[in-house]
Structure 1
Amino acid sequence: MRAHVKRPEPIALIHGLTAQDFSTVENILREQEAQVLEVGCDRLHWQVGTLAGFAGFQPPQPAENVPLASAVLLFSGFSGKAVDRALDALRTTGVKIPLKAVVTATNQSWSFSALAEELEKERAAIMARKSVDNPE
């Protein structure tokens, strides 16, 4: 008999959007029956697993938060197809979210801000490679 592992309920963690863009993204994600959580500056130091509602994670002590430079969207509990559908829908709206990722077993223990910083580094490296490969 095969064990069936239940996928966690889909939740999107979002930071750094204008109210209008947040509403647009929220509508897209709610169409996929996902919860949507706006991560305020007061929770940037929280572990991603805490924000996503995973068991075993506790809210941390209050800490000073440094604002993030870019908007962030994290997908938790989404199937690969659901992520693709959400990204396709986002492209059609014109809402720009430079940092996007899926919550993994590795990054769920990171703080939201640490994960955003890592995504920013990866994005910069990709952009640098693109400029080397396609100089203007």
Structure 2
Amino acid sequence: MKARMIPQEIALLYHLGKGTPRGRRVQEVLGDLGIPCRELGPDDLCQTIGWCAGLAGYQPAEPPAQPPAPVREEAILLGGLTKDRLNHLLAQLKESELTIELKAVITPYNREWTLSKLFSELQEEHRFFLRIQRLTQLTEQAEAQADGDAELRAAALEGRRILEADKAPEPLTLQNAIEGLEAALSRL
């Protein structure tokens, strides 16, 4: 069964309003590609992605008694774009030197989530990828400097094992490997 697509292209922007230089630049890129956008703010954090994207069948949620924690990062959520259009947009943003750390595609799965929940997931995913980058950097550094140092060689082998595993590492495993490599490298 084919997943239902978002019926029209849309870009939802968080902390990328026209009132900010980066927001204006992002909106110019979107405008050049003919992709409509909608600015989101803190009041939208309790709303579903489906409602934020203007999808049929979604109603606004009542504000909760305890508002969600504020989100400080910029974010862009994209719906209805083909793979080619998505890749073209991402290339245009990169060419314009507009790095946006929190990015997501609106899917049938996440459109039921609140904006706050999606941002929480994206933030955790971003932290995970930063840790993977750090582990990669430390592992490569240790491999290059491991001559004759058994502890450093063992730490490098553990880092490489984690990076090449079929399954994503648990956060604690990842953190322990990073700390082990940092400690072994600091002795040099």
What TM-score, normalized by structure 1, do the two folds share?
A: 0.89
Per-residue displacement from partner, 1:64-116 (whole Å, max 9, x unpaired)?
A: 24220311100011111111111111112222311001001110000111101
Q: Which letter does structure 2 place at the counterpart of 1:22?
A: G
Contact 2:75 2:101 in 1 (8 A): yes
Cα separation, 1, equivalents of 2:132 and 2:53? 32
SS in structure 2 at match of 1:69: coil
Q: Which letter does structure 2 place at the counterpart of 1:44?
A: L
* Runs of 5+ unmatched residues, structure 1: none
Cα separation, 2, equivalents of 1:46 and 1:132? 36
Partner of 2:47: 46
Contact 2:6 2:79 in 1 (8 A): no
Per-residue displacement from partner, 1:22-80 (whole Å, max 9, x unpaired)?
A: 11111111222211001011111110000111111100002324220311100011111
Partner of 1:77: 80
Match of 2:136 among 128, 133, 136: 133
Higher helix share: 2
SS in structure 2 at match of 1:100: strand
Q: Which letter does structure 2 place at the counterpart of 1:21?
A: R
What is the count of residue pairs matched by the alignment? 132
RMSD: 1.7
Q: Which letter does structure 2 place at the counterpart of 1:57?
A: Y
Partner of 1:32: 33
Q: Which letter does structure 2 place at the counterpart of 1:43?
A: D
What TM-score, normalized by structure 2, do the two folds share?
A: 0.65
Q: Which letter does structure 1 place at the counterpart of 2:15?
A: G
Structure with max Cα Rg: 2
Aligned-residue identity in percent: 28
**Could you list the runs of 4 or more consecutive aligned residues of structure 1 that deviate by over 4 angstroms after TM superposition?**
none
* Runs of 5+ unmatched residues, structure 2: 142-188
Partner of 1:58: 59
